[in-house]
Amino acid sequence: MRIVLLGPPGAGKGTQAALLARRDGLAHVATGDLFRAHLDRGTELGKQVKSYMDRGALVPDGVTTRMVLERFEEPGAQDGFVLDGFPRTIPQAEALDAALADAGQAIDRALLIEVEREELGRRLAGRWICRGCQTLYHERSAPPAKAGICDACGGELYQRGDDKPEVVSVRLETYEKETGPLAGYYERQGKLARIDGGGAVEAVAKQITSSIGGRVAVAAADVTVE
């Protein structure tokens, strides 16, 4: 199963992608996480993308697409993936489709998680992330057991610089302008499903499960039995 998660910053893509990936044994490929890992390690790519990320702009398509295609070469992604934060532009979506077609593959489903703008602001303002394992927390709706410490790995929690209100408004505008047209792109391919992302994590996960036709792991097991 190859799934694309679309939706504005704060819609819950990261949370839902992590759940789906863990449940169904898919690789979770999050371009924001990959870029932040480069920033933390101080790589050349990290230096190249920092100014775009700091101001809430998109990193150029060529750099981003190359990074994702390299990630596909690593173990784990061949059997299926959830893309979180990629593609974000029509050229990225076209490059992705072309690369998959070369390998005789295709995206199966694009899930657009929709959430009202005021709620997005509230979610981003209270968001904390583990520096070690990228687990997401929220002060109000999903706090860690101990403030500042990750429940999963004991790592340090931090707030993203680009979750500041002034950068968030740039990110939301960029989303509407650059990423919004992807809904039509996948709709024309008959692959788009709209998910109401306004509810609790479990309620959103349920809609996602039904829109991808139940548990992927079960489907894979059935194939093996045959």
Antiparallel, parallel or unpaired: β 109-114 and 27-30: unpaired
Residue 59 makes contact with ligand AMP by CB under 6 A: yes
Which amino acid type is present at position 127? R
Query: 77, 111, 115, 96: which is closest to 5 by C-alpha?
Result: 111
Q: Which two tokens stand for residue 98?
A: 């072309």
Per CB under 6 A, the segment of 83-91, 96-104, 132-140, 187-195 that binds ligand AMP is 83-91
What is the torsion angle, in degrees rounded to the nearest 10, for the CA atoms of residue 18, residue 22, residue 26 and residue 31? 20
Nearer to ligand AMP, 208 or 216 (CB): 208
Among 39, 45, 50, 52, contact with ligand AMP (rule: CB under 6 A): 52
CB of 225 to ligand AMP, least distance (A): 38
Antiparallel, parallel or unpaired: β 81-84 and 2-6: parallel
Residue 85 makes contact with ligand AMP by CB under 6 A: yes
Query: 121, 116, 109, 112: which is closest to 171 by C-alpha?
Result: 121
CB of 161 to ligand AMP, least distance (A): 10
Per CB under 6 A, the segment of 30-38, 97-105, 114-122, 151-159 that binds ligand AMP is 30-38
Only one residue has tokens 């893309």, namely 83
Residue 171 makes contact with ligand AMP by CB under 6 A: yes
Q: Which of 36, 71, 88, 123 is catalytic?
A: 88
Query: 75, 82, 35: which is closest to 57 by C-alpha?
Result: 35
Please tell me whether residue 29 adopts helix, strand or coil conformation: strand
Nearer to ligand AMP, 59 or 208 (CB): 59
CB of 162 to ligand AMP, least distance (A): 6
Q: Could you list the active site residues?
A: 13, 88, 127, 160, 171
Footprint on this chain of ligand AMP (rule: CB under 6 A): 9, 31-32, 35, 52-53, 56-59, 64, 85-88, 92, 162, 171
